[in-house]
Chains A and B, each alone.
Chain A
Amino acid sequence: MPNKIINKVVIWDLPTRVFHWLLLASYLLAWITYADNRFLYFHVFVGYIFFGLLIFRLAWGFIGTHYAQFRSFAQDWSSVTEYLKGLINGKAMRYIGHNPIGGYAIFAMLLLGFIISISGLLTLAGEEGHGPLQGMVNYSVGIASHSIHEILAWVMLLLTIVHVLGVIVESIWHKENLVWAMLSGQKEAAAGTSSIQGHHLLALSISMVVIIVTPIYFNGYLKETADKLYQPYKGPVLPDNASWRENCSECHIAFHPSLLPARSWQKIFNTQHQHFEDDLDLDDETITELLKFHLDNAAEKELTEAARKILYYTPENVTPIRITKTIYWEKKHKDIDEAYWKHDKIKIKGNCDACHLDAKEGTYEDSDMRLPELE
Chain B
Amino acid sequence: MKKYILIISTLFICQTAFAQSAQDEAFKAYSENGKLKFDSKRGHVLWTKKHPDKEDKDRQCSTCHTKDLTQKGKHAKTGKVIEPMAPSVNKDRYTKLKKINKWFKRNCKWTLGRECTNQEKGDILKYLTQQ
Q: A residues bordering B, Cβ < 8 Å? A: 251-253, 276-281, 344, 347-348, 350-351
Q: Are B109 and A251 in contact (CB under 8 A)?
A: no
Task: Judge if B75 is at the interface, Cβ distance under 8 Å.
Answer: yes
Complex CA gap A351/B74 in Å reads: 13
Q: Count residues on chain B whose CB falls below 8 Å from chain A CBs.
A: 10
**Interface membership of B2, Cβ < 8 A:** no
Q: List 19 A-B contacts (CB under 8 A).
A: A251-B78, A252-B80, A276-B77, A277-B77, A278-B109, A278-B110, A279-B106, A279-B109, A279-B110, A280-B106, A281-B102, A281-B106, A344-B79, A347-B78, A347-B79, A348-B77, A348-B78, A348-B79, A350-B78
* Residue B105 at the chain A interface, CB threshold 8 Å: yes
When C-beta atoms are compared, the residue in chain A nearest to B53 turns out to be: A277
| Identity of the chain B residue whose Cβ is nearest the Cβ of A250 in the assembled complex | B80
B77 / chain A contacts, CB cutoff of 8 Å? 251, 276-277, 348
Q: In the bound complex, what is the Cα–Cα distance between A252 and B106 (angstroms)?
A: 15
List which B41-63 residues lie within 8 A (CB) of chain A. Answer: none
Question: In terms of DSSP, what is the predominant structure of the interface of chain A?
Answer: loop
A138 to B42, CA, bound (A): 64
One digit per residue, 1 when the CB lies within 8 angstroms of any chain A CB and 0 when it does not, for chain B 78-90 equals 1110000000000
* Selected contact of B105 from candidates A251, A277, A279, CB within 8 Å: A279
Question: Looking at A251, A276, A281, which has the most chain B CB atoms within 10 Å of its CB?
Answer: A251
> Is B78's CB under 8 angstroms from A252's CB?
yes
Residues of A within 8 A of B75 (CB): 251-252
**B79 x A278 contact (CB < 8 A):** no
Q: What residue in chain B is nearest A280 (Cβ atoms)?
A: B106
Chain A residue nearest to B102 (CB atoms) is A281
B79, B105, B110: the one contacting A351 at CB < 8 Å is B79
A281 proximity list for chain B (CB < 8 A) = 102, 105-106
A253 to chain B: which residues have CB within 8 Å? Answer: 80
